Structure 1
Amino acid sequence: MSDLLYEVENGVAYLTMNRPEVRNALSLDMREQMISLFQSLEGDNSVRCVVLRGEGEHFMSGGDVKSFMEFTELTPDERRVVFVNRIHRNLNGMMYAMRRLSKPIIASVRGAAAGAGVSIALSCDLVVASDDAFFTLAYSKIASSPDGGATYYLPRLVGTKMAMEIALLGDRFTAQEAKDLGMINRVVPTADLQDETRKLAERLAQGPTVAYGNIKKLILQSSENSLDQQLQSEAETFGETVMSEDWVEGVSAFNQKRKPQFTGR
């Protein structure tokens, strides 16, 4: 059985991390499959939104810490080489592939999101969590520092001081606490998580995909840009959107007082 399951329904690609026996801890196979899939999804016009979720009762518990035991007998320098290469080659490649995808990505979080599971959830454009979900950065618990972009996204979402507390202490907090901090978007009853995620994903899959891609690009680059740069980018991306068929449909529908029928083109 593959470590990553993939299916498409109503314009939504569902990527399911499939290692429930270890709370969907990241494996090499899972990382490589995710890199390949996210890269291929960019050119797949049948997919207009992506949902990332975990099989079973948990989203993802991060790295497979049990497998780390085999490296404890290595010298410190040997351990450094192993993990730096792993992070650069696989985990970072996965994060770059997710960041570059122009289509909306929703994390559907149930149960544990720990370590890199937090990093991956934060890298998604929207996060919907069940009311039994919990989050913990956890790296400090095994005397490690975060990876997977956690130290990039967290300060931008919750501020430097709160990000420092979350990373240093590695405490566990609830979905509602994560929402209150601005880390996630919605908290829903556990029994409703699948349906609520699907409804949101299908709504996005029926939307103006080109415009969504430009919205993503603008928002993600905004914290790095000056006002002048951002205004210039807004003008350029607006110019790109008016070239789309969906822009013509959106303007026509607005003036004809009807619901637009977007095609993603």
Structure 2
Amino acid sequence: MTTEDVLLVSDSTDTPGVRTLTLNRPKAYNSLTVELKERLLAALRDAAADDSVRAVVLTGTGKAFCAGQDLKEHVGLLQANDPAPLHTVAEHYNPIVGLITGMPKPVIAAVNGAAAGAGAAFAYASDIRIAASSANFLMAFANVGLGPDSGASWTLQRLIGYGRAVELMLLARKVEADEALSLGLVSEVVPDEELTARAQAVAAKLAAGPTVAYAKIKEVLAVAAESTLGEALAAEDAAQGALGATADHAEAVDAFVTKRRPTFQGK
């Protein structure tokens, strides 16, 4: 994979199938410029389409995971009467979140530090969130006279409930890693120096699993989140019917009968 200044894209040399996307503007706390958003969009599309990629890790460099929108660029463009900032939700944030949630393979957010605004929302949209002990989350949209974007209105309340979500958004209160764990906002908290290894280990486990089944699990959960029981049952039935015909299911059944560990191909 190629390496860009603002976004590092790498495939694991130790574990086939793991692709890591690293936001790389540490001096600006990995805040999101137009360039970084466009490169992230392209990298997510590539990961989704590449069958050799079976798990994705999203992380940042330096002291922050992602501080959200780069406000210096945002203000500069507005002062120059450039309409681009007014369209970034539709052109960048919504598609990024759609790609993360719709990724037909697991996405792990390795939250290495501060995650704010859209940056926090990218973590919320991921399937699994592992936080460093120095990580924290902040929904500060109200402080700049804005409402939530990047899907945070949908994802955050599903993770921690409406009451907690509205409190964090109205008060713009920072949530440290330990509280995030107690709220169910993250899956686990590890020492800073162990974050990369832990996220890669989780990704490696998932990359060796039944990728098509993972995609269907994400799909039926998304349906169930906003459907009737009958609709959820129908989605589950359709998914099971499709998965029953996969090579991975056949391999799992044979492995069970022959009392061995299955070897999944993601097909």
Unaligned runs of at least 5 residues, structure 2: none
Equivalent residues, number = 261
Q: Which residue of 2 aligns with 1:52?
A: 58
Q: 1:42 aligns to what SS in structure 2?
A: helix
SS of aligned partner of 2:49 = coil
CA distance in 2, matches of 1:252, 1:234: 23
Deviations 1:187-235 (A, max 9, x none): 1111111111111000000000011110111112211111001111111
**What's the CA shift for 1:143?**
2.1
Runs of at least 4 residues off by over 4 Å: 71-74
Pairwise CA distance, 1:99:
2.2
**Paired residue type of 1:123:** A
Is it true that 1:136 corresponds to 2:138 in the alignment?
yes
Pairing 1:241–2:243 present: yes
- Residue 252 (str. 1) matches residue 254 (str. 2): yes
| Identity across matched positions, percent | 35
Query: Which is further off, 205-214 or 146-155?
Result: 146-155
Q: Does 1:108 align with 2:110?
A: yes
SS in 1 for 2:137: strand
2:31 aligned with 1:29:
no
> 2:23 is matched with which residue: 13, 17, 22?
17
CA distance in 1, matches of 2:75, 2:231: 48
Q: CA deviation at 1:66?
A: 2.1
Aligned mates of 2:39, 2:238 — CA distance in 1: 34
Q: Is the counterpart of residue 8 in structure 1 residue 11 in structure 2? A: yes
Q: In the TM superposition, what whole-angstrom CA distance separates every residue of 1:146-202 from its partner, at most 9, and x where no partner exists?
A: 111111111212111111110011111111211211211111111111111111000
- Which TM-score applies when normalising by structure 2? 0.93
Aligned to 2:124: 122
2:228 matched residue in structure 1: 226
Q: Which moved more, 1:140-149 or 1:50-59?
A: 140-149
Letter in 1 for 2:61: E
Residue type of the partner of 2:45? Q
Equivalences for 1:188-227 in 2 at 5 Å? 188-227=190-229
What's the counterpart of residue 152 of structure 1? 154
CA distance in 2, matches of 1:105, 1:67: 28
Question: Does 1:40 pair with 2:46?
Answer: yes
Pair 1:185-2:187 in alignment: yes
For 2:187 and 2:150, locate their aligned partners in 1 and report how far apart those are by CA, in whole Å. Answer: 20
1:62 aligned residue: 68
